[in-house]
Structure 1
Amino acid sequence: MITQAALPMALAFIMFAMGLTMNPGDFRLIFSHPKAMAAGLAAKLTLVPLAGLAVVLVWRPEADFAVGMILLAACPAGVTSALLTHMAGGRIALAATITALTSLAATLSVPLLVNLGLAAFAGYDRAVEIPVGKMTLGIFLVDTVPLVIGLALQRFWPLAAGRLGKVARPVATLLFALIVVGAFFSQRQALVDHVGDVVPAALVLNLLAMAGAWAVGSALRLDMADRIAVVMENGLQNSALGIFVAVTLLGNHAMMVPSIVYAFVMNLTAIAFIWAVKRRGGLIYSGR
């Protein structure tokens, strides 16, 4: 119960800290030049589900894991994507906007794709009602509301926001590190039990999503800040939603395993991506 309460609070604080680093002009810029937002949304709503389907068809895991992988690929962007985008030097406002919009789209995409997965891989002959609206509201409260509060402070009380931000940003980074470590320890048994059948598939899905998003950003000639945000939004899934739907709504613990495994894998690849981006920036800056 403590963990269930502490995790949303930690994520909300992270988003609040991100809001302190932004201003409303960041969002006006995104909507006045919507190419990057459209690219991120198109990739998230089409590329990632198609990559999930491809992985299932090629890997051919057992039925419950196959449905769990389709469920995972249907989920919106993860709440921590804005923080990781910030750490990589990407456009936070773009990441936050894509997270919010894909969370709204999840009310349609998750039930549709999960029921297709259940029919195709688990032999279900009737649709399962998946009321993800409540979960989407929870995402909104954890993600968007704290961000707006941080933005309001930055807009109306910039000096106070600046002083608070000097403390909030390091705390947010520490909280993220604790979330990753906690995820590892809570998921270590699942990683051990399914290292051969789910971990490689989850890693391939993650790499396909990130590489595909990078290719889309390159093809559309997005600037580096936008491209980083699009890659992070496509590589990071809301695994908590996948776990919630699998266990609470579908009553199938095996179907949550891909989401559990992916939660660990995606953070490792995101950290590796941040390192690569920072290293590339350092090499460019040094003239090498």
Structure 2
Amino acid sequence: MNDSALIVTGLPIALGIIMFGLGLSLTIDDFKGVARTPKAVVVALAIQVLVLPLVAFGLVEGFDLDPLLAVGVMLLAASPGGTTANLLSHLFRGDVALNITLTAINSVLAAITIPVVTNLAIGYFDAQGELGLQFGKVVQVIAIVLIPVGIGMWIRRRSAGFAARADRPVRIFSIAVLVLVSAGALLGERENLADYIQKVGLVTAVFCLASLTLGYGGARLLRLDERQAIASSMEVGIHNTTVALTIALSVMGSTEVAIPSAVYSVFMYVFATAFGYAITRRHEQAGANPSLPIS
């Protein structure tokens, strides 16, 4: 599977299209959102960029994963928030503008955080093989993450109508690619799948719940309002697993490293929906009964 043209060439192209679609949904004003809500942006980014890798490292150490699976979990932790977080945030009455700002900034930061966190993990866990993201591979990560976003933003600036028409097809394409790549990664390791699920299933489930809880709880603890906390929760809990899968499969050439992201991509939508429903239901009940605490 790792040597197929579909993975080596097709998957980066598919991710480029997805990131291009993300660029079509962004404007320079989205990055300026930092000035409007600096505290909310800093809190969410700190949780995602600094806290999540530490949580992932603690889980990997606690569950004593195999080196390649451990690297896969750390790669997942370093991946940026997914654009679906915007949709879920809207569904559960979060601050979607904050989500858009965070997605924009995170898409840029990922070009730095992914190589740094992944290389540290490869060194610490002594993962075998030529996995390191050396300079050439770092450039490849930047090319498939940043350049398409920039092109998409430029085209939106030139033709907002085209950007609006392309939004839905690109979103559908993004979901299709995620499903196909996740299924392909799991099927590609079908002989070892039961063992991998046993080893990494609980880790990824706990990590997903921890991400959602930290995103919401950390925001509330630092006195962000309810809408900002919901946005933070979805942004921190929903990862762009397509980025992590593409890097694992086409850049690093390892299906085993991709397994945690493939499993997480199944859990995150189920858990995020349930989590969003639970916190909004609790908030509504607290509003109806003032004796119940909201935060």
Q: Give the TM-score range, shorter chain.
A: 0.7 to 0.9
Report the counterpart of residue 293 of structure 2 in structure 1. none
Report the counterpart of residue 220 of structure 2 in structure 1. 218
Superposition map of 1:96-175 within 5 A: 96-123=100-127, 128-130=132-134, 131-140=137-146
Cα distance, 1:79 vs structure 2: 2.6
Q: Distance in 2 between the 1:267 and 1:205 partners? A: 13
Report the counterpart of residue 33 of structure 1 in structure 2. 37
Gap change, CA 1:117 and 1:30, over 3 Å in 2: closer
Q: State which drifts further: 168-177 or 93-102.
A: 168-177
Question: 1:217·1:230 contact (CA, 8 Å) conserved in 2?
Answer: yes
Residue of structure 1 aligned with 2:47, choices 28, 43, 46:
43
Residue of structure 1 aligned with 2:278, choices 276, 280, 285:
276
Cα distance, 1:113 vs structure 2: 1.4
Residues 212-239 of structure 1: CA deviation (Å, up to 9, x unaligned): 1222111111112211111111111121
Q: Distance in 1 between the 2:262 and 2:284 partners? A: 34
Q: Distance in 1 between the 2:89 and 2:77 partners? A: 20
Cα distance, 1:128 vs structure 2: 2.1
Matching residue's letter, 1:233: E
Report the counterpart of residue 236 of structure 1 in structure 2. 238
Question: 2:90·2:96 contact (CA, 8 Å) conserved in 1?
Answer: yes
Question: 1:90·1:229 contact (CA, 8 Å) conserved in 2?
Answer: yes
Report the counterpart of residue 248 of structure 2 in structure 1. 246
Q: State which drifts further: 237-246 or 32-41.
A: 237-246
Structure 1 length-normalised TM: 0.75
Question: 2:133·2:252 contact (CA, 8 Å) conserved in 1?
Answer: no
In structure 2, stretches of 5+ residues that fail to align are 1-5, 290-295
Structure 2 length-normalised TM: 0.74
Cα distance, 1:196 vs structure 2: 1.5
Q: State which drifts further: 110-119 or 134-143.
A: 134-143
Q: Distance in 2 between the 1:183 and 1:227 partners? A: 31
Cα distance, 1:176 vs structure 2: 8.0
Gap change, CA 1:10 and 1:276, over 3 Å in 2: farther
Report the counterpart of residue 63 of structure 1 in structure 2. 67
Residues 159-200 of structure 1: CA deviation (Å, up to 9, x unaligned): x99xx98x9999899778767876776566579633321111
Report the counterpart of residue 267 of structure 1 in structure 2. 269
Matching residue's letter, 1:231: S
- Percent of aligned pairs with the same amino acid: 24
Question: 1:183·1:263 contact (CA, 8 Å) conserved in 2?
Answer: no
Question: 1:187·1:261 contact (CA, 8 Å) conserved in 2?
Answer: no
Gap change, CA 1:48 and 1:144, over 3 Å in 2: farther
Report the counterpart of residue 211 of structure 2 in structure 1. 209
Say how many residue pairs are matched: 275
Q: Distance in 1 between the 2:131 and 2:112 partners? A: 13
Superposition RMSD in Å: 3.8
Report the counterpart of residue 258 of structure 1 in structure 2. 260
In structure 1, stretches of 5+ residues that fail to align are 155-159
Question: 2:14·2:177 contact (CA, 8 Å) conserved in 1?
Answer: no
Q: Distance in 1 between the 2:14 and 2:128 partners? A: 36
Q: Distance in 2 between the 1:145 and 1:201 partners? A: 37
